[in-house]
Structures are given as structure tokens and as C-alpha cells.
Structure 1
């Protein structure tokens, strides 16, 4: 009997990442899986003023702190899924005028933060013998791939089939079908199907098989999201926000064709739940990263009998 803890879509929240790492010991899990969209959506410049204080515009407020108070402000920013970046008044002018400079800094803080996270995970989990798998999702810049290699203990399983335990194989895939945000890792449905068919064909279905695919299957309870207009604002119909299915048709098709034992998904924060597609049980724990809440699912697996139970978690 093994225990697997799965979570996804923490979007740069250091509070959620630390909870994820601690979940191994808390739940007595053998394996931790972080399923994608691991990075934040922006950085917050903290300007070093000439009087020795530091100033930041954060969450609509102007924060001015001393050098001693700076670590607390940086921690608060990290815990909310953003990246603090200490800079000068002169550099801030360049940042405000140059999209290229903003992209450069954003990639730098993503890579630096992830490298720190990988070191932390290794230090905490290696002594306990808990395996950890961290893969990117559609929102994650390619710089993530380099950062994940900083630790030889943390495994990036993306675009691979890996035996994660005796008699347990996992396919991982971080790309999504096109979204309104034109995120870094998107492909057409045809490309997704071809990629997944190639990977799924490598699996031994006599073993317990897991499809760790970031985007959920189309037209299920796992892929319902607010419908957006051309300005990316929610569409209101009859006094309520309209919804639509945004998952991948190719993911659904590949599940129907290959019928793995378990599907692990994320991408759509608003749709936690489970669904059966043929014999495959697919799960999406959802995400509340912006509130520092880690949503996950704990899977108790008898890999020899290919039987399992699951429980959604939140904390």
C-alpha cells in the first residue's frame, strides 16, 4: 500500500509550496506530485530609497518599510503568489518604460525562486525518502525547465512515462489546448493528441497507470470555467456568470482510448471534483492559491491489486 499526494496550480504561492512539501510527512505519503502552473503571475518592485527605507506599491497600497521590516514584506508578497524584486529608483524608471526589461526580470525571479524551492524540497524530503515530482503547466515559462534541474532529487516528469513506484507508471504532460491568454505552453488539439498517443503507447497497462495531464478532459465536471468576452471579462447571463467547458477534447479522447486507472488534472481552478470516463477515474482538486489554501487529493493505492481510494484535502 502506498500513498500519493497530488496538488496543482499553486501559481507561485510560497505558502502553498511549503504546505505541499510538508504534506509528505503530514499525510505519511510516499510520493508527492505537483501537476503544473507552479509559477506566479508577476513581480513587485521594491524600491530602495535614498533615506534607507524601501517602498512598494502592493495590492493597491503604498508600503514603506525599514530594512528590518523588509523580509516580512517580501515574505507576504511571496506567500500571495508574486515575486519581490528589490531595485533602485533609477532601474525602476527603466522597468516602467521597457516591456523587455520587465520580461527579463520576471524570468530571473521565477528561476531564482524555483531553484530555492527545489533546494528546500530536497532538504526536507530526501531524509524521509519521499519521492517528489514537479512538472510545468501551460502558464509556466520555459525557464522553469532549467530551474527544475537544479536538484537531482526533484524529478520533472513532463513529456515522459516514468515508473514512480514498483508496478506504478505515470505519464505527465503540461501543455494545454489554446486559451484566451496565449500562455507559454499551448498546442492545438491535434498536436496534443499526437503527443499523448505517443506517450500513452509506451505504458504497460498491466501495471497501475496514471495520466498526470495538466488540462482536464473536455465536457466533464472538471473543466467548467467562467465564460469570458473579448475583453476577458466574465459574461453575465440572467443575472449569473455564464460558464463553459474549457478542457481538451484530445485529453478526453486519449483517456477513452487507453483507459488508464487514474487521471490527475488541474488547470481549471473552479472545478474540483471527480469523474469516471469508462474505467478511468479522473480527479481535479481545484486551486485556492491566492488565499494560501492548498487543495489536494490523497490517494491510497494497493498497487498489486490495482485498487485505490481517494480523499480530497484542503488546508
Structure 2
């Protein structure tokens, strides 16, 4: 047996604190070396709450703090509080005000989660790698860095036994005009620029939020049909570079493993609205054999498993 590296890969938890905690707990329970977040970590869904003294209203219906907390902690539905209907109207009409309000909330969410992360990893050997996705505001990159969380987007990380992790949270265009979207041609140039520093792609792990087009990983439910919606660029890059492994997310209903050439790829999917953790455990193995001064190295994906709980 060669040198082994075990990875727990999780993506698209969208603000579910329950799922976030489960991911941190699972990384220790499965004795993994790395927990890698593939993007879309923080809340994307919001409920507008009008405060009238101690009464909380949404669409003129009273709602309890307990109900709001349950929906937030489990489903990631974030309550935004307003003092008047005029303020709610301003939120709906004014894009800049809406962006500021959402960003302020998500930064507060990040503060809370950093504390949870620090507490749960204090006595752990698991290394946690964060990357954001298309539904995470761009300003969060610098905000997390300022608070001690290193984002993998703009660097090549060496992990395990000389594996190189290349991350990209950007995706091909969606109908929702989210924060990190690029035309496939622009996305291609962005990723190619990252890969200039990768000399041996056979030891590379591509942590790209967008799944490659026309695979088991990119089938979305559209009008009761399963349609391929992944990135042509991501597929082309994988075909060109033949990395060891591809880690992907973005399409929640497309939990699967697949192959492009010799590259094994995985999307764990997401069931965050039910408070369920979808995950993949990947085991990598590296062997080195020598004959005098000549050494041969071989890395392979020994196993990929999908799970939920």
C-alpha cells in the first residue's frame, strides 16, 4: 500500500448551519485528512420580516422567532428585518440597498460560522479548505481572508502527497444572474491562467464548482425533463489536462460519479433544505518505486463513495 490521502468533499450547503456542522463532524468521524468545500456555502434565500414592536410579520402574516430560527438553521432561509413597509419597498426596488442588506447579513453569518469552525476543529488534524461559489457574494472572499479563513480561489494548494488543488467558484451563465458567472469563453481563459503554474496535471485535483457538460454530474430538472446544463469549458479543460480528479457541485439534483477519459469526477449533490448532508469520500493513493537513482511515481483514485445523512 502506498501513501494515502482521504478527502471529504461537500458542496452547496447554502447557509444551512445544520449541514455545515454535520460536514465538520463527518470530517472527523470518517478520519479524513481534508474537508473541501466546493462552493455555495452561505445563504442565498431570504425572507423579509416587518418588525412591529414584538410582532414579526411576513406578507402580513405573523411569524414566530422559533419558526424563523428553525428555517434559518436547517434550510438556510435567512430573515432580513425591516422597520417599515417603505424600507421593504426600497429593498425590492433599489438594487444597491438590496445588495448592502444581504451582504451585511451574510457577513454576520460568516462571523458565526467561523466561530463554529474554530470550535469544532480546535483539536482536530483535519485541514479544511474553503472555496466559494456562484451564489456567494464576491466581497466574502476578502472578508473571510481578513478573519483568518484562507480561500483557495486564487492559489494553487499543495495537499496530501504532492497533489495540487486548483479551485474555481465561477460557473457558466445561469437564468438567475448570480455573483460568479462568466461566458464559457471567458471562463476558459480564467481557468487556463490558473493552470499555468501546474506542471504535472496528472497529480492535479480540479475543484471547479461548475460540473462538466454532458456527464452524469450536470443533469438539472427543467420542465420535468433532465437536461445537461454544465460547463463546456470545464469539460474541455478536463479533456486537455487529464487531471487525477474533478470535484464539482452546483447542480443539486445530480449526485453522481463519472469519468472523462481517465479523470474521475464527482458531484455529491445537495439536500440542504432538508438539513441533510450530501458528501463524497475520496481515497487517493500514491506509490513510489525506485531502481537505483531512477524513481517512478504513480497516483490513483482508489475509491469514490457518495453518502448522505
TM-score over 0.5 for the alignment?
A: yes
Pairing 1:192-207 to 2, within 5 Å after superposition: 192-205=187-200
Pairing 1:1-315 to 2, within 5 Å after superposition: 1-50=4-53, 53-57=54-58, 62-64=62-64, 70=65, 73-88=68-83, 90=84, 92-99=85-92, 100=94, 101-152=97-148, 154-205=149-200, 208-227=203-222, 234=223, 241-304=224-287, 305-307=298-300, 308-315=302-309
**1:299–1:246 distance in 2 versus 1, CA, 3 Å:** same
Residue 201 of structure 1 and its aligned partner are, at CA, apart by 3.0
Does the residue aligned with 2:211 lie in a helix, a strand or coil?
coil
Give the alignment's TM-score, normalised by structure 2. 0.87
**1:17–1:56 distance in 2 versus 1, CA, 3 Å:** farther
Residue 73 of structure 1 and its aligned partner are, at CA, apart by 3.7
Contact 2:158 2:164 in 1 (8 A): yes
Could you list the runs of 5+ residues in structure 1 that have no partner in the other structure? 65-69, 228-233, 235-240
Contact 2:15 2:76 in 1 (8 A): yes
**1:207–1:261 distance in 2 versus 1, CA, 3 Å:** closer
Residue 200 of structure 1 and its aligned partner are, at CA, apart by 2.2
**1:125–1:48 distance in 2 versus 1, CA, 3 Å:** same
CA RMSD of aligned residues (A): 2.2
Residue 22 of structure 1 and its aligned partner are, at CA, apart by 1.2
Residue 259 of structure 1 and its aligned partner are, at CA, apart by 0.4
Residue 226 of structure 1 and its aligned partner are, at CA, apart by 2.4
Contact 1:111 1:143 in 2 (8 A): no
Does the residue aligned with 2:123 lie in a helix, a strand or coil?
helix
**1:85–1:98 distance in 2 versus 1, CA, 3 Å:** closer
Contact 1:294 1:314 in 2 (8 A): yes
Residue 184 of structure 1 and its aligned partner are, at CA, apart by 1.1
Mapped partners of 1:303, 1:86: distance in 2: 52
1:193-212 CA-to-partner distances (Å, cap 9, x unmatched) read 11112222322427632000
Residue 61 of structure 1 and its aligned partner are, at CA, apart by 6.1
Could you list the runs of 5+ residues in structure 2 that have no partner in the other structure? 288-297
Does the residue aligned with 1:113 lie in a helix, a strand or coil?
helix
Does the residue aligned with 1:155 lie in a helix, a strand or coil?
coil
Contact 2:5 2:161 in 1 (8 A): no
Residue 142 of structure 1 and its aligned partner are, at CA, apart by 1.1
The equivalent residue for 2:292 is: none
Contact 1:48 1:86 in 2 (8 A): yes
1:79-112 CA-to-partner distances (Å, cap 9, x unmatched) read 2112234443x3x531233333333211111111
**1:18–1:312 distance in 2 versus 1, CA, 3 Å:** same
Mapped partners of 1:79, 1:147: distance in 2: 24
Mapped partners of 1:256, 1:63: distance in 2: 51
Mapped partners of 1:48, 1:198: distance in 2: 49
Mapped partners of 1:296, 1:82: distance in 2: 21
Contact 1:112 1:147 in 2 (8 A): no
